[in-house]
Amino acid sequence: MSSLLSLHVDHEISIHEVPVPSLKASHTSIVQNEVATGASEDSRELPSESDVCRARYPNRWARIREFIREPAAEAFGTFILVLFGIGVNCQNGVSTNPATAVSAQADPGSIALAWGAGLSLGAWVSGGVSGGHINPAVGHTCHGHVPWVSMEKVPGYILAQYFGAWVGAIVVYANYFHAINLVDNHQYTVPGTASFFGAYALDYLPPANAFFDEFLGTFILVFVIFAVTDKFKDSPSSALLPLALLITFIGITAAFGMQTGFALNPARDFGPRVMTAMVGYGRAGEPKRQGSTALVSL
């Protein structure tokens, strides 16, 4: 009996002698774990600059692509504008000659429609990337007023627009090369077949009148752009801008296209002029007082 009692007492004593963890030590370990966890989370939330750059530019082409994507969109949009516009000019010009066609294949209505289609489609294909203004006059006028046109991007856009217009003129010339030679018998006449590409004012028109004609058409075009994209009034969606440009350009072409050839766009006129000088028209295609609106459009 006494032995059982001693075992019971010893057991109770051993239980009470078990060391109890210190509250201070537990709190310290918890704090240390939280600090370590927070540090690891911070390290995950703040990657290094090299990691960010590597994720954004996985290769050299990705870096180049981001740099050129907006100017390339402007170049391609202007290319489409010139492709449709100068294409219909050439079709209208060469089809009036019996050596190339038995009847005319274009008329003023189709010319206006093709130029309007080229402008609206060019704005559509480039609008999602660069804003789709495809016109140096629009870039100069709208920077700071239209959200997608910033001044630091305008010079690159303008160079791209001239390049796109030049390439578009080359493609159209290659397509109508034989027909153009049949019409002017390899003489490269100016304005003559050169007027298929550049905008040439009529001989009777003085420079001041040519300037006013181009100013009037460009003013209407830019005014419509401001009206459609005005964010301070209940204006239509900017997605409707290409449609508005189509209607506007058809109207401008039909109403004011006869005297100066409705350049309205320095790139559309100057880029094709460079092409004509390269393929054989030479210095005859340079701006002159009579018959040319190159200086006026610039």
- In angstroms, the CA 145 to CA 131 distance is 13
Instruction: Please indicate, yes or no, if residue 5 is contained in any of the structural domains.
Output: no
Asked if residue 222 and residue 176 are part of one domain, the reply reads yes
Q: Which amino acid is at 168?
A: G
Among 295, 204, 296, 298, which residue's Cα sits nearest to residue 258? 204
- Model confidence over 257-283: pLDDT tens digits? 888 888 889 999 999 999 999 988 876
Structure tokens given for 47: 């990657």
Instruction: Please indicate, yes or no, if residue 75 is contained in any of the structural domains.
Output: yes
Q: What is the pLDDT of residue 289?
A: 42
| pTM confidence score | 0.75
Asked if residue 29 and residue 99 are part of one domain, the reply reads no
- Model confidence over 37-74: pLDDT tens digits? 555 554 455 555 555 556 666 777 777 778 888 899 99
Asked if residue 189 and residue 153 are part of one domain, the reply reads yes
Domain boundary at 31, 56, 81, which? 56
Asked if residue 266 and residue 121 are part of one domain, the reply reads yes
Torsion of CA 88, 94, 96, 102, to 10 degrees: -100
Among 154, 207, 176, which residue's Cα sits nearest to residue 276? 176
Asked if residue 45 and residue 157 are part of one domain, the reply reads no
Q: What is the pLDDT of residue 291?
A: 46
Q: What is the pLDDT of residue 161?
A: 94
Decide if pLDDT at 202 tops 80: yes
